[in-house]
Structure formats: structure tokens, C-alpha cells
Amino acid sequence: MKLKGRIALVTGASRGIGRAISEVLAAEGAAVAVNYRSGKDKAEQVVKEITAAGGRAVALPGDVADYAQAKSLVEQTVKELGGLHILINNAGIAKDGLIFNLEPEDWLSVMRVNFGGVFNCTKAVMGHFMAQRDGVIVNVSSVMGERGWIGESNYAASKGAVNAFTRCCAMELARFGVRINAVLPGFSPTELVAGLTQKDGGKGIKKQIPMRDFGKVEEIARVTVFLAGPDSSYMTGTLVPVDGGASTALGLGTSL
């Protein structure tokens, strides 16, 4: 187990990609703080499954869009699990719509969670990582942050901010022995993007993916955990797409 003795905090970990990441981290030996905002029962179920398999985990509440709560979340992780070495910024929301129809709150709320959560948790953990000169941050972004898609302007903008922040943060923290990378999922059938992947059974989107299928959350989780582990020790400031080749192709996407 490559992460034995390491302690990880995963935001938005009660379902979807965050849940899968928590499970893969635990399988590699890490103790995991499973963060949730409203899905307490689901988060506790993740913890139950990890502990039943011989791992160590706790469920911790917190809205990462609020800096005070993000700071408390980091402090609670250290208190409950005895330290912190890995931060996975995964929490995110979507409010899709054509730009003409979006209200100011539709982009601001998405930005608060998707980018604000990354900023808040990163800032909250920086002092701890810098002091121990050891730490890894993996931001779960999206290929939407690097490409365009109809109806996704607010979501894409928030992920573009995450990508830019990842690069800048990596430059600032490299001298402290802290690495920051991002994983960029393509289309994965989670609740967050159900409006896209369930339309016409997903056939329209799958035709635009060279591998002709959606990504499984476990596939995204394994790349995320690779970036969090020792095998990626010379990687920082890197954006890694996990999208079945979608971002290599020309195409015109539509979701609405």
C-alpha cells in the first residue's frame, strides 16, 4: 500500500467522484477524512465501508465555500486523524444554462463553491503543509476548464480558474516541498452532470468521445490517487485530462 501512514482530506466526498477517491485512497493505506456539506448519511456510509475493509476514516461536515468552515475542516482532520498530508479539492456544483438566461447568482454561486472551495481549503492547509515541508494537493477540475461547451459557461469559467490557480499555487509552494496538480475529468455519469449524460441515453456525447464511452468514477479516482502518491513525486503544476480522448478532438457540444 503506497499511502500507508498518510492522512487525506477529500472535500465533497459523500458521493460520485469524491466517494470513489476516498475509497481508493483508503485501499492504498491512507486514513481519510470524508467531507460533506449536506449528505451526512451518505458520508457515514463511505466511512462505514472503509472501516469495514480495515481502513480508518471519519465523516466531517463543512461548507468549503466558507473560509471559516474550510479552516475548521482542516483543523478537525488533524485533530481526529492525527495529521494531514493530502488534500483533494473535489467539492463542486453545477447550474447549467445559456448565458442569456443566467442570473448573476447562477455564476456567482458556482464560482463560490468550485473555485472558492479550492482557494479556501488550499489556504487553510498551506501553513500546515509548509511547516512540515510535506504535502500534496490534487484539485478535481474538468476538461470544461480548457474547452468550450454550450450551456456550461459558468461551470467552465470556475474550472478554468481552478486550472490557473493550480499552476500558480504549484509555483509558490514547490520550494516548501509541497506539490499541487489537477485532474481534469471528461464526462462521467455522476449526479452533477446527469443533465448532460442522460440526454438521449448519452449517445450524442459518446459519439464525440474517441473511446466512445463515459469515464467511470473509479478510473478518475485512480488517476487522482496517483497524483497524490509517491509515483508522481516529480510532478507539480500539471493538469491531467481523464476524458477518453475527448479533449483531443474537434467537436461541437450542446447540452441544452
Active site residue 155: yes
For residue 207, tell me if it sits in a domain: yes
- Give the integer Cα–Cα distance in Å for 24 and 3: 10
- Which is more confident, 136 or 210? 136
Q: How many structural domains compose the chain?
A: 1
For residue 86, tell me if it sits in a domain: yes
For residue 152, tell me if it sits in a domain: yes
For residue 195, tell me if it sits in a domain: yes
pLDDT of 255 reads 47
Q: Which of 126, 159, 173, 174 is nearest to 243 (CA)?
A: 159
Q: Which residue has the cell 464560482?
A: 111
pLDDT, one tens digit per residue, over 144-177 is 899 888 999 999 999 999 999 999 999 999 999 9
pLDDT, one tens digit per residue, over 96-146 is 999 999 999 999 999 999 999 999 999 999 999 999 999 999 999 999 899
Angstrom distances, CA of residue 239 to CA of 34, 164, 210: 24, 10, 20
**35, pLDDT greater than 70:** yes
How open is the CA angle 137-138-144, to the nearest 5 degrees? 145
How open is the CA angle 61-48-191, to the nearest 5 degrees? 60
| CATH assignment of the domain containing 191 | 3.40.50.720
Range of lowest pLDDT (22-26, 63-67, 251-255)? 251-255
Which is the catalytic residue, given 36, 67, 155, 234? Answer: 155
